[in-house]
Every structure is written in C-alpha cells, then in structure tokens.
Amino acid sequence: MKKNILLLILSFILFNPSFCPPPAAASESIQEIQFMTENSPPFNYIEDKKIKGIFVEVLMAVSRQMESPLGWDRILVLPWARGYQSLSDGGKKCLFGTARTKERETLFKWAGPVTHNRIILIAKAGSEIHINAIDRIRSLKTGVVKEDMAEKLLLESDLPTESLFRAFGDNAAIDLIQDLDRGMIDVWAHGDMYARWLMKKKALNPKVFKTVYVLREEQMYFAFSQDVSNGFVSVFQRALDRVKKRGDIKRILKTYLSEDIGHL
C-alpha cells in the first residue's frame, strides 16, 4: 500500500508539468552578508560623511522588503580592485554595482539587474555631429577624464591619442561639460548615468546635449560570492523584484538623475 502511494506521488511529480518545487529557503540572514562597494557616483558615493547613491538606496529598500533593515555601517566602501579581490576570495560577501559580463558570469552569483551603465559620446544638441561608427570620431576633439573607462575604450579602439583632450582632478567632468558647451571640444566621452547625475547636481539642462554614440552598455547587478547560498540569492532577487514592481527604483533614479540625455 505504502509502495503504491509513493509511486503515485512520484508519477505526479514527474508527469505533471504544472508542478514546481517550492523555492529554496535562505540559509543565512541579510545581516550576515558583508556588502561592499566603491566610491562611484551616482551608484554609490560618500557625501557629508554618509554613503548614498542609487544602489545604496535600492539595497536599503530590499533589506526592508526582507524585513531585516540594514544599517549604513553594514556597507564597506573600498577601492574597486580591492573589493573585487575580496569578493573573489569568498566568504559571505556582496559587491555592488557590478557589471554582469561574460567573463564574470560563472565567478559569482547575481541579483538584478538594477539599472544599466552606458559609456556614451555626448555632443551639443545643435551640432551637426552624427556618428555611426567609432572611426568617425578620429577627426573630432574628444574630451575624456584621465584614466576613466571611456578613455580606455577609446584607446583600445586605436583612436589616436592626439585627438583626446584629457582632464583630471576632482572637477574634471564638470570642466569637460563646460568645455563642450563653449565649443572647446566636439564630444565628451563618459558614463551617461554619471553625466545625468552631474547635470542634476549642477542644475544643467540635459536638453542642451545629445547622445551621438554608445561605446558600451552594461547591466548593473548585485554580485554575491560563491559562498553565499543559492537560497539567499533567490530570496534577495524576489525582494528586489517586489521593490521594482512597486516603482521604488524608478523613484530613486528620478531622485538622483536629470532627465535622459537626448538619444541618437
């Protein structure tokens, strides 16, 4: 009799396509995870001795959704290379916001996406500049922040270094926006999220500018070390999905960013 009952249960599981096993439960609390990030506005940054930013706000909303609110002291701000190495070394850790690339896919466990990060070329809205291939910018004067990702991408594309106008220092980005506005450079290469954050911070009109080329686009995630259980990552993802559905992420983005920069 017992054998027949077991066979019936097994048959139901194997041949009923609507059956789904319950999701794995988290084996750890969010309070056990060491959350790490870098100083990279608008995603995460220190201002007035307090950490803030898009990802920070999203993390706090997720922790509240999980009914275990995190304190600000649960987030460690490190140089990117050090945080990435710490995540790779294992332990109950999470590094955010991390681009989910093919090279990193199997190294970590992922929850997201939260938002994107595009490296773009920005020109004056009234200019006649239209770019459909990277080679088209060889004749243009392109502003970059020294040692920024945009500079690296342009150099990897074999763009001649003499066509780059490099700015450096704490005010490099705002200097380049002003140079672009004055016609001292033709285009500015930078992350669109940072550019929109800076425009809002400085009360600049994003409609004065336009996006003329996208160098790279990545989706940004929470990356967990392999030592964090699949169950916890699933619970975190479901909480993040609820935060998204509620409209919290859109509200957070609006808080930190100007309107979108005009597209191609």
pLDDT value at residue 20: 41
> CB of 221 within 8 A of CB of 152?
no
pLDDT value at residue 17: 44
pLDDT value at residue 264: 54
Q: For the domain with range 29-116+220-256, which CATH number is right: 3.40.50.2030, 3.40.190.10, 1.10.3370.10, 1.20.1090.10?
A: 3.40.190.10
pLDDT value at residue 73: 85
| pLDDT mean by block of 10 residues, the chain; 264 residues | 46 46 63 96 93 97 97 92 96 96 96 96 93 88 93 89 90 94 95 95 93 95 98 98 97 95 72
pLDDT value at residue 8: 43
pLDDT value at residue 247: 97
Domains 29-116+220-256 and 118-217 in one fold:
yes
Domain formed by 118-217, architecture: 3-Layer(aba) Sandwich (3.40)
pLDDT value at residue 21: 41
pLDDT value at residue 162: 86
In the chain, what are the domain boundaries?
Answer: 29-116+220-256, 118-217
pLDDT value at residue 85: 97
Q: Which of 42, 100, 104 is nearest to 255 (CA)?
A: 42
pLDDT value at residue 163: 87
pLDDT value at residue 26: 57
